[in-house]
Amino acid sequence: MKTFKYKWKMHDNEIIGSRDCDDEASLRRHVEANGGQLIEILEVQEKAAPKYTMLKKCPYCAEEIQPEAIKCRHCGSDLLKRSEPTYISNVRSNPSHADSYRPPQGGNNGLAITSFVLGILAVITSALGIGFLLAIIAVSLGPGGRDSKYSALAGWGMLLGWFVIIGSILVAILWGSIWAALIFSSFRR
């Protein structure tokens, strides 16, 4: 592949252009296809061979990324948390991937805050019976908020939710054993 710098004519205008082509004939066909006429070739440069780069795999989504990357452009994960990169041996760098940036999938701040609030409400309303349901929802939403900037709130929401769930189960066992003892003692008489 060569880079041609050339002068061409379209209608009465002379234009200087640059194009990557295999040879002069393909350049001439390109200019004529655009309704122009090739006047002269000003400069020809050999295009460098494609650059080979040692890429690494993102440890979270397994997509190919540059070794210097600190954040994955595919999944948005922070790569500074991981210590050892996993390398793909001798893979050609693909510039078309640069155009396929997707924003991070994180940003679950709402889930973290909701989990925390529901955990607190579960503790407050556990005596009323709805606390158990709120605790289950808090525990379910907590993991979704673990990758947000409020991950500590998600952790507390899950902790409070588990506290209410385990407490409710223990209270149910206690009441069940009390009722079983009362029923059993009524049959003994």
Confidence of residue 177 (pLDDT cuts 50, 70, 90): very high
Confidence of residue 170 (pLDDT cuts 50, 70, 90): very high
Query: What's the whole-number mean pLDDT along residues 14-40?
Result: 87
Confidence of residue 100 (pLDDT cuts 50, 70, 90): very low
pLDDT for position 107: 61
Cα–Cα nearest to 158, from 111, 126, 125:
111
Q: For residue range 136-168, list pLDDT tens digits in order.
A: 888 888 888 777 788 888 889 899 999 999 998
Supply the pTM of this predicted model. 0.42
Residues 6+ apart with CB under 8 A from 27: 4, 6, 19, 21, 38, 41
Q: At what angle do helices 151-188 and 109-124 cross, to 10 degrees?
A: 30
Torsion of CA 88, 94, 96, 100, to 10 degrees: 20
CB of 69 closer than 8 Å to CB of 41? no
Q: Is the pLDDT of residue 98 over 50?
A: no
**Mean pLDDT estimate for the chain:** 80
pLDDT above 90 coverage of the chain, percent:
9
Q: For residue range 54-83, list pLDDT tens digits in order.
A: 888 888 888 888 888 888 888 888 877 655
